[in-house]
Chains A and B, each alone.
Chain A
Amino acid sequence: MEPLLLAGYTALFVAFFGYVTYLQRRMSRLERQLEDAQT
């Protein structure tokens, strides 16, 4: 496989999975804060 092609699609996957992971982590932190505030 061409290195440029590999680098391009790797960047795409890393960016999307990284962003989804960041959103999920923020979401679970907020849900925890919400639970703590309600109790």
Chain B
Amino acid sequence: MIGSSSTDGDGTRNRTSIRFARILGTVTAFLHRLTRSRLVSWGAFGFGLLSMVLVFGYASDTMYGIEHGANLLAYWHISLAWVAAAALGSTFIGSALYLRYRGPFWSRLAHSSGELGFLFATLTLLLGSAWGRVIWNSWWEWTDVRLVTFLIVWFIYAGYLVVHSATENRTGDRYAAVYGVVGFVTVPLSYASTRLWTPTFHETTIGNSGVSANIDPLTLVVTLVAATFLYLYLLGIRIHLHELEQQVRRLHSARRR
């Protein structure tokens, strides 16, 4: 009886894992097709153009009671920060799935998203610093918890890229995947930092009805969509590069034999 119930349990577990593997296969194929589709490249171009029109022709340049043209940097600063978090989230998911299933697609997704997340985070810091010069009269504030935690995220993912490039292909992917899973802890921590600790300058925006930034929601949403399409477009190219590198490596090793 005990033996048959444990066999039943194993069978159910196997069926569940086969079903999950099939779902993952479908997701992989969908992501692969989506990132290489024309919808994404034209979406990035169209929404990027629309965002520029709205930022420079429609949105108000008065924020926190200060009228200054550099306030318009806020739209891309905020959008890039959100998409950077999404990209680093993809690195976490890709790394976790690679450690579980060893599929090369997940490793490529994790590394490509990590590289893009790092680029987006760098631009977030640059634009934020320039915007901060206007509204806080300072390029950088060590007392602001969001700024400091975001800088930690930036260093963590700089380290991730170093680990990935400094290790060998197969084993390196595993090390980088472990790093990608563990390092992700800093991302939600940075986003929750304004709720966990008292912020000096950054205020909590989501779910805060008293937010005083005066940011136009339409311009912000269009810019966010543009940044997302841009991320997907770059992700498609980066993953394709990984595939080409793999093909070249395979051909070279076959020749050596």
Contacts and interface: CB of A to CB of B under 8 A. Distances in A.
Interface of A: 1-2, 4-5, 7-9, 11-12, 15-16, 19-20, 23-24, 26-27, 30-31, 33-34, 37-38
A35 to B, nearest CB: 10
Given A5-B72, A5-B73, A34-B251, A16 B241 contact: no
A27 B247 CA distance: 12
B32 interface: no
A12 B123 contact: yes
B248 A4 contact: no
Interface of B: 68-70, 72-73, 76, 119, 122-123, 126-127, 130-131, 133-134, 230, 234, 237-238, 240-241, 244-245, 247-248, 251-252, 255
Given A4-B70, A16-B230, 8 more contacts: A2-B70, A5-B70, A5-B73, A8-B126, A12-B123, A23-B238, A30-B245, A37-B252
Contacts of B130: 4, 7-8
B234 A19 contact: yes
A11 B126 contact: yes
Nearest to B240: A27
A4 B137 CA distance: 13
Contacts of B131: 8
Q: List the 5 closest pairs (A to B, CB-CB), nearest first.
A: A2-B69, A4-B70, A37-B251, A30-B244, A8-B73
Contact of B134 (A4, A9, A23, A31): A4
